[in-house]
Amino acid sequence: MAKIVFLDEYSLGDMDLSPIKNLGEYVGYERTSKEQVLERCQDAEVVICNKTVLRGETLRALPNLRFVAIAATGMNNVDLDVAAELGIGVKNVAGYSTSSVAEATMTFALSLLKNTEYFDNYFKSGAYAATEDIFHFGRPVRQLRGSRWGVIGMGAIGREVARLASAFGCEVAYTSTSGAARKEDYPQMPLEELLAWADVVSIHCPLTPTTRGLIGEKELAMMKPTSIIINVARGGIIDEEALANALNNKTIAGAGLDVFSREPLHSSPLYALEDNYTLVAAPHTAWAADAARTVLIQRIAENISEYLNQR
């Protein structure tokens, strides 16, 4: 029976892991520090990890390891070159969170346009109860219908966001960060043109040398002062200091962030905005709907089963 070690169970929350546990001799750890990785993987034939790093020197020191199941889409936490050299299979899970991330994108947009947090706080603070006014117009309330939505990165998630935005009555266009020319249902624009055109910009491209710092001071200055930007892709794509300045200077109207340059984000100018209501943020949870995590666990189990059946 294969020994299966999961190094960072916490990354899947409180989900039922029995589809994975039933596949072999299972050992799970809530978290694993870099100093603990080698010891905990010593006898493992299969290792599961989400963000825990498996470096080349670690892989070389694990003669029993034959398969790494990545509990995510990104594979940059494993030295793939060394794994291939050693004949260690590595497989990720793609596409499990498309709906969850797309819905989170729409939630960020609606929260910012409707100023949901502000009005919720106005109600819960007692301010509404203390007034004679039925209505309160302390911040703008805007609608999506009739607005322009620009998608950066027309992959599976970007395509689903475009579909949802269209259903809300938005005019949609996109820009390709890879340079690939594919037939899409929406017009393609250069990034600079898209930024100037859009009322809502959402980012769905991978973090690569080309996209790192893609949105900085210059790009934010191209946007409308009434526009908002949403990043549910990777934190390094937006320059966070430039974004904080743009929000403080009212260069743009708002931002929705689910990802950050460092996670967790211990210090940042985003924590000291002059107007906190211009930012809606979440701790990298856009992907984490229960339904998405259930699919993720099932596919991790399928990947391991496929390896076990072929060995």
**What ranges in 8-88 are assigned the alpha helix state H?**
18-21, 37-41, 56-60, 80-86
Helix or strand run (H / E) with residue 172:
strand 171-175
Catalytic residues: 234, 263, 284
Residue 280 sits at φ, ψ, to 5 deg, of: -115, 125
C-alpha 69: how far from chain center:
20
Q: How far apart are the first and last CA of the chain?
A: 12
- Residue that is written with structure tokens 């409707």 in the block: 114
**Cα dihedral sign, 145-148-149-154:** positive
Residue 66 CA to residue 222 CA, distance in Å, equals 50
Query: Residue 255 pairs with which residues in a beta bridge?
Result: 229, 279
Contacts of 113 (CB under 8 A, 6+ apart): 141, 142, 143, 144, 228
Looking at the DSSP assignment, which residues form a beta bridge with residue 49? 70
